[in-house]
Amino acid sequence: MQTKIYQNLIGGQWVSAQSGETFLNRNPANIDDVVGEFQSSGEADVDRAVKAARAAYKQWRLFPAPKRGEILYRAGELLLRHKENLARQMTREMGKVLSETRGDVQEAADTAFYMAGEGRRLFGQTTPSELRDKFAMSVRMPVGVCGMITPWNFPMAIPSWKLFPALMCGNTCVIKPAEDTPLSTFNLVEMLLEAGLPEGVVNIVTGYGPEAGAPLVAHPEVDAISFTGSSEVGRIVGQTAAGFFKPCSLEMGGKNAMIVLEDANLDLALDGAVWGSFGTSGQRCTATSRIIVQKSIVGEFTRRLVERAQALRVGDGLNAQVEMGPQINQQQVETSARYTGIAEKEGAQLLTGGKRLSGDGLDKGFFFSPTVFGGVGAGMRIAREEVFGPVVSLIECDSFDQAIGFANGIQYGLSTALYSRNVNLAFKAMRDLEAGITYVNAPTIGAEVHLPFGGVKQTGNGHREGGTGALDFYTSWKAVYVDYSDRLQRAQIDIGE
């Protein structure tokens, strides 16, 4: 079967990269399966896309917000109508199992419906003026052209987190999807176009970070940047954006802790540990990569977690019997293997897994075994550095306070979880855990679109995706004063007149 060639979307037209170069998008469960051929874009392509977005912005910002919302709502309906086909295509290009890719499409639809409602809100404030016969209010204004760089682990949900609120607020967009998973972004934007989005409002440029992502961040006509990816790349993105004084939203790494206290529902905690650690093959920024377990139950918890990990069915995510798919590429497999070696050298005990899987139809994919380490010290690298694979560490603690200290003692602060029936400790954990997200009696994964998503410390730079937090990034506040006194009034000077 001939491989389909996908072109960049610029100004409503499908065009090839000026270099004429392309790259292949392969199925991580079977590298012989080529999903598509995409454009390997460069600075000239990015410049063309930004200019198209700038031209479209002149009219899109004037498009009534309720009408923008109607387009998003129709896009959400289309996503649900085509959910199964979109999910299957996503599993082919990303690898995670069908139940998860269906959830990825559902999340994009949920975001569309939520943001569509903002078309009749986008609230500002009215407030009394300190002067007579004067009206004061604040309104949200679009920021302009938004550049977006998205990751491969949620190849439709995360682009929707960025595109939908930006569009709702009246901005135009240039998006560079991850080179491992560009098709799902194409599919998402196709839904927008079918829903009636005008030409040039969203532009897609595919390619690699240095050639396409870096020029997008540095482009002088891009007014804001939204990036999701590693902390190392995010630091470069943030520094570059700062040089242009442009707003920059960074959502980066995590080393998320799940605390299990001795009074926890152990069956529930184990369910959460397996899902949080091995869902998406551990390739979530919110994945449960540390489980801090109270000493009195660590033995039983460890034994049962290892049994559950060993029983997981690993394979092609299109197979309905499979519970965990491949990693995204060879580099991620090598990272998981490298950290396995690091952990063993540090003295951690490899309880199960720790190796690439082969045989039984797995030879042509990037499969790594579900891996559990015991005897992990809170200061070990395996307990502090992000692996982004199906690797979890068990850390023993003596008390609640020690568990909180272990959880907070890292450079990241994205997601945390506490399993306990003690309501007092639950509220203390909600207060004391240094993270943007805290779950009680639920794993560290499972964010919902109407709540803010993001973290503290080296996980992010203070901005949030999801909910009204996204609106705060994609708009700027304008204060408006209307003086109907028909005379000069001076704030802070003409007091009491």
As annotated, the active-site residues are: 251, 285
Task: Find the DSSP H helices in 82-194.
Answer: 83-94, 98-117, 157-168, 182-194
Q: CA angle 492-493-495, nearest 5°? A: 85
- Give the SS3 label for residue 396: strand
Q: Which residues contact 421 (CB under 8 A, 6 or more apart)?
A: 263, 264, 265
* Tokens representing residue 390 in the block: 């199906």
Q: Which of 181, 178, 160, 188 is nearest to 82 (CA)?
A: 188
Please tell me the distance from the alpha carbon of residue 484 to that of residue 486, in angstroms, as a whole number. Answer: 6
Q: Which amino acid is at 293?
A: V
Torsion of CA 342, 344, 349, 354, to 10 degrees: 70
Contact 409, 455 (CB under 8 A): no
Q: Which of 207, 265, 216, 275 is nearest to 240 (CA)?
A: 216
* Tokens representing residue 312 in the block: 């997981």
Helix or strand holding residue 431 (H, E): helix 423-432
Q: Which residues contact 79 (CB under 8 A, 6 or more apart)?
A: 86, 105, 108, 109, 112, 188, 191
C-alpha 337: how far from its chain's center? 24
Please tell me the distance from the alpha carbon of residue 332 to that of residue 171, in angstroms, as a whole number. Answer: 35
Task: Find the DSSP H helices in 118-171.
Answer: 157-168
End-to-end CA gap in the chain: 81
Q: Which residues contact 473 (CB under 8 A, 6 or more apart)?
A: 165, 224, 226, 247, 249, 463, 464, 465
* Tokens representing residue 138 in the block: 């604040």
The beta-strand segments (E) located in 335-490 are 349-352, 371-374, 391-397, 412-413, 415-419, 437-440, 456-457, 475-483
